[in-house]
């Protein structure tokens, strides 16, 4: 059987190292060089010939820099005669650009997918894409994982007798409902309208949250404007306590501090698909998805079913 070779870009080497520890394989070295004209050069410093190559690189800030690194890594692996190149992309930032909702704009999620395939990617391993249609932007196989299992295992340690899972909007309601089924609790959702990237309005909560312990579930939290607006509405509706959970904890522009400063927010939970921001709140709990990603990598390498491992059943 072909050997596994795992390489990581600059975006999140800690996650790649944890995955390799789970797999029992070394994290292979990568040399990144910047020329005087600001161009990047990437060298994979281990043999790739006829190997099953996995490139670990979430698209996080600086997104464009990390994207170019990833494209160059893919091209380097292809040029080194890798048998197969799998992009392990725990966070796909451009997945939010998934529709043409204004004139003369690019659907970036599709464009970047095409760039990865053109560079030589054979398949993609992603986690919690922003919307289901993004899966279809890729012309190569995509294994799409979620972190509901890790999040549910964490919250099962609590008394859930008066708990309700709340989705910030109807678009995320399906995932929130699946999460609520795992916990055996009811689900509710916010009626949200977005006016700008950082300006939203939630007019109502659909479902009963009065005197309930609420778990707000979202796929990612960036500036936190939606979550903060939802917290206000939950407070108005009489929620007893609030916990905030997401897969991708980007927490830009001081979002973590603002959410943590809310007196009725008792915990903020995210996974390590992206690096944890400096100065993390004492309310923050970070769960590792490295074991899940490593299991998926091993199953891809062995030609086994990934969906069987990461099904949606509780």
CATH number of the CATH domain containing 209: 3.40.50.2020
Domain count, the chain: 2
Which has more pLDDT, 20 or 190? 20
Percent of the chain with pLDDT over 90: 84
Do 131 and 186 fall into the same domain? no
179, 151 Cβ separation under 8 angstroms:
yes
In a domain, 20, yes or no: yes
Do 206 and 272 fall into the same domain? yes
In a domain, 198, yes or no: yes
Tokens encoding 109: 């999620």
Do 260 and 301 fall into the same domain? no
Do 13 and 81 fall into the same domain? yes
Q: Over range 214-231, report the average pLDDT.
A: 94
The dihedral built from the CA positions of residue 189, 218, 108 and 300, taken in this order, carries a sign that is: negative
Separation between Cα atoms, residue 266 and residue 234, nearest integer Å: 14
In a domain, 103, yes or no: yes
Do 204 and 226 fall into the same domain? yes
Give 277's DSSP letter: P
Separation between Cα atoms, residue 291 and residue 299, nearest integer Å: 12
The dihedral built from the CA positions of residue 213, 215, 221 and 226, taken in this order, carries a sign that is: negative
Q: Over range 240-264, report the average pLDDT.
A: 95
Residues 6+ apart with CB under 8 A from 35: 41
Q: Give ∠ CA 309-312-314 in degrees, rounded to 5.
A: 95
Per-residue pLDDT reduced to its tens digit, 47-72: 999 999 999 999 999 999 999 999 99
In a domain, 314, yes or no: no
Do 270 and 171 fall into the same domain? yes
Residue 314 pLDDT exceeds 70? no
Q: Where are the alpha helices (DSSP H) in the chain?
A: 13-23, 63-79, 108-119, 148-155, 173-183, 225-236, 255-260, 290-302
pLDDT grade for 311, boundaries at 50, 70 and 90: low
pLDDT grade for 197, boundaries at 50, 70 and 90: low
Annotated catalytic residue, options 99, 100, 192, 223: 192
In a domain, 40, yes or no: yes
Separation between Cα atoms, residue 313 and residue 178, nearest integer Å: 8
Predicted local confidence at residue 313, as pLDDT? 43
Burial of 214 (0-12, 13-18, 19+ CB in 10 A): buried
Separation between Cα atoms, residue 256 and residue 220, nearest integer Å: 12
Give the residue from 168, 278, 250 showing the smallest Cα distance to 214.
168
CA atoms within 13 A on the CB side of 149: 15
Q: Over range 219-232, report the average pLDDT.
A: 93
Predicted local confidence at residue 191, as pLDDT? 80
218, 231 Cβ separation under 8 angstroms:
no
Per-residue pLDDT reduced to its tens digit, 66-123: 999 999 999 999 999 999 999 999 999 999 999 888 899 999 999 999 999 999 999 9
In a domain, 125, yes or no: yes
Do 80 and 114 fall into the same domain? yes
Query: In terms of residue numbers, what domain contains 261?
Result: 148-282
223 is catalytic: no
Do 296 and 276 fall into the same domain? no
DSSP 155-193: HTTS--TTEEEEESSGGGHHHHHHHHHHHT--EEEEEEE
Give the residue from 238, 252, 210, 240 showing the smallest Cα distance to 227.
252
Per DSSP bridges, beta strands 187-196 and 199-206 are antiparallel
In a domain, 65, yes or no: yes
Burial of 181 (0-12, 13-18, 19+ CB in 10 A): middle
Helix (H, G, I), strand (E, B) or coil at 16: helix
pTM for this prediction = 0.93
Do 84 and 22 fall into the same domain? yes
């Amino acid at each position: 059987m072909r050997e596994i070779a795992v390489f990581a870009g600059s975006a999140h080497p800690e996650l790649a190292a944890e995955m390799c520890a789970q797999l029992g394989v070394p994290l292979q070295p990568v040399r990144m060089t910047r020329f005087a004209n600001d161009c990047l050069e990437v060298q994979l410093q281990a043999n790739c010939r006829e190997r099953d190559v996995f490139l670990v690189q979430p698209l996080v800030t600086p997104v464009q820099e990390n994207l170019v690194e990833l494209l160059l890594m893919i091209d380097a692996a292809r040029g080194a005669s890798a048998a197969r190149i799998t992009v392990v992309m725990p966070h796909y930032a451009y997945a939010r650009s998934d529709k043409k909702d204004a004139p003369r704009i690019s659907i970036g999620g599709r464009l970047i997918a095409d760039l990865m395939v053109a560079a030589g990617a054979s398949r993609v391993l992603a986690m919690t894409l922003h919307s289901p249609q993004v899966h279809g932007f890729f012309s190569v196989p995509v294994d799409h994982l979620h972190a509901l299992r890790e999040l549910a295992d964490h919250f099962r340690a609590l008394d859930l007798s008066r708990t309700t899972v709340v989705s910030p909007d109807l678009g995320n309601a399906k995932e929130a409902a699946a999460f609520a089924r795992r916990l055996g609790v009811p689900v509710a959702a916010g009626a949200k309208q977005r006016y700008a990237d950082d300006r939203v309005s939630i007019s109502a909560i659909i479902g009963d949250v009065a005197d309930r312990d609420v778990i707000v579930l979202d796929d990612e939290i960036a500036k936190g404007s939606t979550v903060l607006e939802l917290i206000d509405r939950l407070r108005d509706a009489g929620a007893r306590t609030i916990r905030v959970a997401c897969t991708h904890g980007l927490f830009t522009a001081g979002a973590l501090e603002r959410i943590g400063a809310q007196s009725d927010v008792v915990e903020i939970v995210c996974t390590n698909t992206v690096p944890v921001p400096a100065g993390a709140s004492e309310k923050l709990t970070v769960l590792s998805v490295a074991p899940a990603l490593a299991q998926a990598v091993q199953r891809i390498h062995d030609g086994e079913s990934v969906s069987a491992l990461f099904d949606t059943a509780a």
